[in-house]
Amino acid sequence: MVVHFKNGKQIHKRFVAQILLGVKKIFEELPNICEVSISHGSTFTICGDIHGQFFDLCNIFEINGKPAKDNIYLFNGDFVDRGSFSCEVILLLFAYKCLLPKVNYCSRGYITKLISSIFTFSEATMKQRP
């Protein structure tokens, strides 16, 4: 999926639906506050404010390694809203959440009504992309 996105391609809507349904089920079963246990020797990376920057997210994974049992990530909100690749970012984060639910954590960021109106993650914005 990452290679596909890096080449400017989209994934089939069937796969998008599978990712969204899978992550929905995981999030529904989680409590509002989650405890993260990190075993000795594991790495814990906290990332904030990806803002739809897919290639920045890819660089984070290249520098710190992809999510794995001993390489835990916490993404601290603001996943989408400004960058041109918001769909790719959220789909990648959600796919990792589905694959490794105890390794990839996502907390919701705070977005005000004003910011949401300026930087929209909407169908109209997505249609502007080639």
Instruction: List the domain boundaries for the chain.
Output: 2-127
Give me the pLDDT at residue 100, please: 94
Taking all residues of the chain, what is their mean pLDDT, rounded to a whole number?
Answer: 84
Q: For residue 30, report the phi and psi dihedrals to the nearest 5 degrees.
A: -85, 145
Which residues are registered as beta bridge partners of 45? Answer: 73
Q: What is the DSSP string of 20-54?
A: HHHHHHHHHHS-SS------TT-EEEEEE--TT-H
Q: Which option is the CATH number for 2-127: 3.40.50.300, 3.30.70.2740, 1.10.10.10, 3.60.21.10?
A: 3.60.21.10
pTM equals: 0.81
pLDDT of 33 above 90: no
Q: How far apart are CA 92 and CA 69, in angstroms?
A: 17
Residue 53: CA atoms inside 13 Å, Cβ hemisphere, count? Answer: 11
